[in-house]
């Protein structure tokens, strides 16, 4: 198993801000980005995650993992679930609401990266086979143009199997649904056929 620990920062290594949806998805993603030569920092901003207890459990799991692999993380101090629910009101269908969710998180990441002097930004959402990569790429590039900072795109799904090994190795909490109220409902309701099951 490759070592996850970070090398000493170098001024010549490009700084990348990685939006982190959860610790399990950060496992392979951080390792891959470091292997590509990036100096990686994380951003925790996930207003979609419901309920608050789930949000906090995921945040605490990321804090645990970040400490183990020396990953600096910027923690958004607020929990903006009300803003998220207002944004998706009338757009609750799977994929329609997901685009809004992607846009909120990518916009915040691009803004934070630009303000923080990073060279580029990306997201751990790109590792999940359950997320719409084309939409993420489109919205990431749009946020890139608005904030004048590069969006790094790579299909990280090649590391989906490896991420399970890393989750077990670090004993990380793994959620059973993407994050929002609707994804939880769809993941647990066996009669619902609008959202793929994930673990």
Residue 4: inside a domain: no
Residue 57: inside a domain: yes
* pLDDT at position 55 over 50: yes
Domain CATH code at residue 41: 3.40.50.620
Residue 5: inside a domain: no
Residue 195: inside a domain: no
Residue 33: inside a domain: yes
Q: How much is the average pLDDT of 155-184?
A: 91
Residue 143: inside a domain: yes
Residue closest to 175 by CA, chosen among 150, 148, 199 = 199
Residue closest to 125 by CA, chosen among 154, 148, 89, 162 = 154
pTM of the model: 0.88
Residue written as tokens 């692999």?
69
Residue 145: inside a domain: yes
The contacts of residue 127 (CB under 8 Å, 6+ apart) are 25, 28, 29, 156, 157, 159, 160, 163
Tally of domains within the chain: 1
Q: Which helix (H) or strand (E) holds 103?
A: helix 96-115
* pLDDT at position 196 over 50: no
The pLDDT confidence band at residue 99, using thresholds 50, 70 and 90, is very high
Residue-range definition of the domain harbouring residue 82:
15-188
Residue 44: inside a domain: yes
The contacts of residue 196 (CB under 8 Å, 6+ apart) are 130
């Amino acid at each position: 198993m490759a070592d996850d620990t970070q090398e000493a920062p170098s001024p010549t290594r490009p700084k990348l801000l990685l939006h982190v949806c959860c610790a399990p998805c950060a496992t392979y993603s951080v390792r891959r980005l470091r292997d590509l030569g990036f100096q990686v920092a994380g951003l925790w901003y996930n207003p979609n995650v419901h309920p608050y207890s789930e949000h906090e459990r995921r945040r605490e799991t990321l804090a645990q993992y970040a400490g183990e692999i020396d990953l600096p993380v910027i923690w958004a101090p607020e929990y903006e679930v009300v803003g998220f629910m207002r944004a998706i009101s009338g757009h609750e269908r799977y994929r329609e609401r997901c685009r809004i969710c992607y846009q909120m998180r990518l916009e915040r990441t691009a803004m934070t990266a630009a303000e923080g002097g990073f060279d580029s930004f990306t997201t751990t959402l790109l590792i999940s086979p359950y997320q719409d990569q084309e939409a993420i790429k489109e919205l990431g590039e749009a946020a890139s143009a608005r904030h004048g900072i590069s969006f790094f795109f790579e299909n990280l799904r090649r590391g989906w199997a490896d991420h399970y090994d890393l989750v077990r190795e670090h004993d990380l909490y793994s959620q059973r649904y993407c994050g929002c109220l609707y994804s939880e409902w769809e993941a647990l309701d066996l009669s619902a056929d609008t959202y793929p099951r994930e673990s």
